[in-house]
Structure 1
């Protein structure tokens, strides 16, 4: 993989990490407002639940994509570690192919749902319902992209690099 492409993907991963972090902070702020409004103002806003779910989906999908790039996502690392080197490489490649397929499916189906529900109003918030699927669409595309990077340029799992 070229150095420029690797740096571009690293910047994309940093941006995804920032978006996930902003989503996490946003979730905490929205829920803090919900608690304050409910117990202090005695006026619970209806928009907090759908906005929190949107922020949670954003945090989860963008964070998962970054974990794919860092090779710290869920995997059967013990099996790979115990396998002979040729089989370990094949298992890592298979894992990358599965990740790419799942990411692509999430991106495609997320886009379909986004487009299908864009005109419907979100319950409790003045936003389009299709917006709920935007993080799934973008996050799925990032998962597939970073999975493709892992397939082309494999790296050992995070636990192997930390132990050395």
Structure 2
């Protein structure tokens, strides 16, 4: 497990909630050796966060209230186009020495993303560019790609 720069987070990936951890900010830091960055958020007060990577998966860790509080629990987001959410969760659990039963909350559907951005080829075929969990995320990325000379569409797969 290592801290990554926010710029290593995919430009068009967004975030998707994965789970909550039964750990305080301090407990997370003790288990991982990673200090979460402190910042002030309007309406929430002091928050803590880090972008981390375990194997090939990237996560956004965020805590609220205080370094010692477990309520609300630490929230973990994965990239919005994570191809294997179940593997992503398993890697996180293994790295933290936790089980799924210990987590206060886990995303209900850990199936791969079902909204694909397809690039229309000149020969009429469509090539998958990336997948997203939410149609709105795929549509947002589609708008970013519109400046490209290729034609793109969003489709449920």
Q: Shorter-chain-normalised TM-score: which range?
A: under 0.3
Larger relative contact order (Cα-Cα within 8 Å, sequence gap ≥ 6): 1
Return the structure number with greater strand share: 2
Q: Which has the larger radius of gyration?
A: 1
Length-normalised TM-score, structure 1: 0.24
Length-normalised TM-score, structure 2: 0.25
Return the structure number with greater helix share: 1
